[in-house]
Structure 1
């Protein structure tokens, strides 16, 4: 896999990095954004997934 992307929370600026995943929430490293469940929330502030925007 290559071309991992990063997504930033609009509430608290936490960054979800596809390469790192979110192991504390059960999201394995290498998990693509579109493969994260829609009910996943920011592990820092609890904002919903749709509060994240892809970083360019």
Structure 2
């Protein structure tokens, strides 16, 4: 199954609760809509609190 066939997921920062939605992306941080979590650069940090990508957990909304 191709990535485009999979439903988009959301990821939450465990430090501050900020939500990354794959469908929406994070354009203010240079991450275009539709960017899967796996494609977010490993050195990316939470725009709210500066937490590392490792401090996020996948969650269903």
Q: Which TM-score applies when normalising by structure 1?
A: 0.95
Within 5 Å, give how 1:13-32 maps onto structure 2.
Answer: 13-32=17-36
The higher radius of gyration belongs to 2
In structure 2, the gaps of 5 or more residues are none
Question: How many corresponding residue pairs?
Answer: 56
- Per the alignment, residue 39 of structure 2 pairs with 35
Structure 1 runs, 4 residues or longer, greater than 3 Å off: none
What root-mean-square deviation, in Å, do the aligned CA atoms of Structure 1 and Structure 2 show?
Answer: 0.9
- CA distance in structure 2 between the aligned counterparts of 1:23 and 1:44, rounded to whole angstroms: 14
Q: Which TM-score applies when normalising by structure 2?
A: 0.87
